Amino acid sequence: MRRFIALHQMFALAAAMLAGCAAPDSGRQSGHVGAQGEAATPPEASGPAGPGGRAGLMRFGAGGGSDGAFENRLITNVLQHSFTAHGADFDPHIDAAGQFVVFASTRNSERPDIFMKGVDGYAITQLSSDPADDIQPRFSPDGTRIAFASNRSGNWDVWVIGRDGTELTQLTRDQADEVAPCWSPDGQRIAFCTWGRRSQQWEIWEIGLSEPGVRRFLAFGMFPDWSPDGRFIAFQRARQRDSRWFSIWTIELVGGEVRHPTEVVYSDEAACVAPHWSPDGKRLVYCAITGGREGSGAGTTADLWAVETISGQRWKLTDGSSPAFNPVWASNERVFFVSPRAGSDNIWSVSAPGRVAAERAEPGPAHGTHESGTAHEMASGG
């Protein structure tokens, strides 16, 4: 099967520790990278049981010398939301009301199209049907439009379509590949990542929908996600030395300026990728990948984690029994993700650590968190 740029492929890049220094395949000659054997998570950590046999708080990557605590939460309430037995459903996103999920799928053809369905329903609406690849759909804040990435113009660009499948609009037209769009909370801007031909690494830019031809550089990194209050953007970025694993960063937007680049989550043993904000803007969910250091994907695993960004309290959301990708946090306090746990890649959800748990998290510096000081230092790789 021909390849296309999807989050699965980026996870494979992370597992191979390419450190953001590999250009995307913008052509249509590459096949879909499945979840099995291509993704991973931190090594299973089990610690001394607390009172009553409850697992105590453990350090991230036990035995690896990492700081910071996490709570290992066994999966007990996983729900399945898509049921394709052919092809794959992936790249899910939930509308603000928590009622609909939009996703990419190869269930009907070799190339992915955009689909939408009720979160708990079975009827599926196909929004795009094109010989090209349509991936990474994202609902606008008001739920009326969907941004997505497509190579229908020859290379990867950002497009917008109405939720009824009308009013298709191309937003970016650069010769470089532009993928992974996300909306600002006011619905007026879209951030995305592109391969920098000069920098030879992934870059995050933003455009205004009223002036899509005018763009602004934000940071080096991939897979941006805007916080609900519009103050922060979370993203993954390759570390510049040692393991070269990806880590989770945030930047703050102050008066139109990029400030306070901060590494929120990192590990010497895992690639931390694809962050997504909780509805209250206090927590992030992400995928942790470990293994596959030789680039083969063999022995890799992928699990979902959540972190309270102020205290650094962590929760492991999946149990390692099956790879879990593409996490998105819905308004009903469930985290939706993609997993092949039933055979084909389908969309599932698991309960997230609630607001009460986040509010009870012990204050203090988050493990692996440091502030770079200036956006210039971050932009220059310092």
What is the rounded CA–CA span in Å between residue 147 and residue 137? 5
* C-alpha distance from residue 235 to each of 60, 192, 251, 353 (Å): 20, 10, 9, 21
Predicted local confidence at residue 297, as pLDDT: 54
**CB-based contact 50:313 (threshold 8 Å):** no
**CB-based contact 288:316 (threshold 8 Å):** no
Predicted local confidence at residue 366, as pLDDT: 37
- Order the strands of the 124-126 sheet from edge to edge: 89-94, 100-105, 113-118, 124-126
Predicted local confidence at residue 292, as pLDDT: 59
Class of domain 7-379: mainly beta
Sign of the dihedral defined by the CA atoms of residues 117, 283, 323, 300, in that order: positive
Q: What is the pTM of this model?
A: 0.79
The 3-state secondary structure of 298-362 reads CCCEEEEEEEECCCCCEEECCCCCCCCEEEEECCCCEEEEEECCCCCCEEEEEECCCHHHHHHCC
Phi, psi torsion values for 376, nearest 5 degrees: -65, -40
Predicted local confidence at residue 243, as pLDDT: 64
What is the rounded CA–CA span in Å between residue 246 and residue 231? 23
Torsion of CA 238, 370, 273, 144, to 10 degrees: -120
Encoded tokens for 154 = 């020859």
Predicted local confidence at residue 75, as pLDDT: 54
Predicted local confidence at residue 112, as pLDDT: 98
What is the rounded CA–CA span in Å between residue 243 and residue 266? 11
**CB-based contact 335:328 (threshold 8 Å):** yes
- The upper half-sphere exposure of residue 98, i.e. CA atoms within 13 Å in the direction of its Cβ, equals 11
Predicted local confidence at residue 48, as pLDDT: 28
Encoded tokens for 102 = 């939009």
What is the rounded CA–CA span in Å between residue 224 and residue 92? 15
The whole-number mean pLDDT for each consecutive block of 10 residues of the chain, a chain of 382 residues, reads: 44 40 45 33 30 28 37 68 96 97 97 97 95 97 98 96 95 94 98 94 95 93 97 93 84 93 91 97 95 59 94 92 95 96 95 61 39 35 35
Predicted local confidence at residue 299, as pLDDT: 65
> Closest Cα partner for 245 from 310, 300, 198, 178?
300
Which helix (H) or strand (E) segment holds residue 10: the answer is helix 7-15
Burial code (b: 16+ CB inside 10 Å, e: under 16) for 289-308 equals bbbbeeeebeebbbbbbbbb
Q: Where are the domains of the chain?
A: 7-379
* C-alpha distance from residue 148 to each of 192, 234, 276, 303 (Å): 10, 18, 16, 25
Express each pLDDT in 129-180 by its tens digit: 999 999 999 999 999 999 999 999 999 999 999 999 999 999 999 989 999 9
Predicted local confidence at residue 130, as pLDDT: 92
What is the rounded CA–CA span in Å between residue 292 and residue 137? 28
